[in-house]
Amino acid sequence: MVNQYKGWNIAANIVLVVLCVLALAPFLLLIIASLTDETVAMTQGYSYFPEKWSTMAYEYIGSQAAKLGRAYLMTIVVTVIGTAVGVLITALLGYMLSNPELPGRKWLNLYVVFTMLFNGGLVPTYIMYVKTFAIKNTIFGLLVPNLLCSAFLVMLVRNYFENSIPRELYEAARIDGASEFQTFFQVALPLSTPILATVGLMMGLAYWNDWQNGLYYLSDASAHLKTIQNLLNDINENIAYLASDSTAVGGMDMPTQTARMAIAVVGILPVLVIYPFFQKYFAKGITMGAVKG
């Protein structure tokens, strides 16, 4: 019996190793492609073992080092603030909707779900944010559009509060004289680490990868507010323009294809580095909240 279990463990480990390699292979190819010579990439395609290496793509991106540093800082600030506030708003709304004693709970849930099916459209949304909230050319243009909760994430949090945390804990807190806010912050949140980490990771990735809000709500006058995604998009467009007019760069060949790969590496590398450190929070706290008796 022990040998049988050992065989299954070995087989499972082999499968996991294969899946891990398959998951990492595209990222490795992306990095190698960004270091491949432009001519080789154009004529022979991308390969794990290119005939010629080149750092020209990174050299061009590195020439924008000052702008990159500022853009990275802005992206970090927007991601941290937006994720923290967004998770709090999502958790508050999910906690409220999970309360079976909430008056009109069914209609409020329907209202939230309705936003998953229909929205106001791009033009009305843009006019509302620009005219009513006046977020154009401000940092709020990068924060507010993604801050107003995702209904899908609200439903995830609501279901967790409703099904994974025993109602007896809420009732015990109220019997002890705790207010709703005290129950939320002292009972619900400490027992919700897995779902909050999941929601936070989703929101963080959304803020980090967002470029549309910068495109819509930031003009050239507010270039100092551009995030890394907006800046990399500008660099990509500049490279395409320079490549179409070789006289603009003294007859030099601009690395268009490999530069796109390098831009992708610069954009996702911080996420790849940070992500493994957040994995442990997905499992943490799953067994918390058990009630005896």
Average pLDDT over the chain, rounded to whole? Answer: 80
Q: How far apart are the two ends of the chain, measured CA to CA in Å?
A: 36
CA–CA distance, 199 with 156 (Å, rounded to integer): 8
- CA distance readout (Å), 107 to 103, 104, 110, 153: 9, 5, 5, 18
> What integer pLDDT is reported at residue 282 of this predicted model?
55
8 A C-beta contact, residue 289 and residue 169: yes
pLDDT band at 3 (very low <50, low <70, confident <90, very high): low
> Is the pLDDT assigned to residue 238 strictly greater than 80?
no
Which tens digit of pLDDT belongs to each residue from 179-212?
A: 888 888 888 888 888 888 888 888 888 898 888 8
Least confident range of 53-57, 103-107, 231-235: 231-235
The pair of structure tokens assigned to 289 is 């909240």
By the 10 Å C-beta count (0-12 exposed, 13-18 middle, 19+ buried), 196 is classed as buried
Which tens digit of pLDDT belongs to each residue from 59-102?
A: 877 777 778 888 888 989 999 999 999 999 999 999 998 888 88
Which tens digit of pLDDT belongs to each residue from 245-293?
A: 554 444 455 667 787 788 888 888 777 777 777 666 655 544 333 333 3
Question: What are 36's strand-pairing partners?
Answer: 53
Higher pLDDT, 135 or 279: 135
The pair of structure tokens assigned to 247 is 């006289």
CA–CA distance, 161 with 97 (Å, rounded to integer): 9
> Is the pLDDT assigned to residue 120 strictly greater than 80?
no
This prediction has a pTM of 0.79
Q: 3-class DSSP state for residue 55?
A: coil
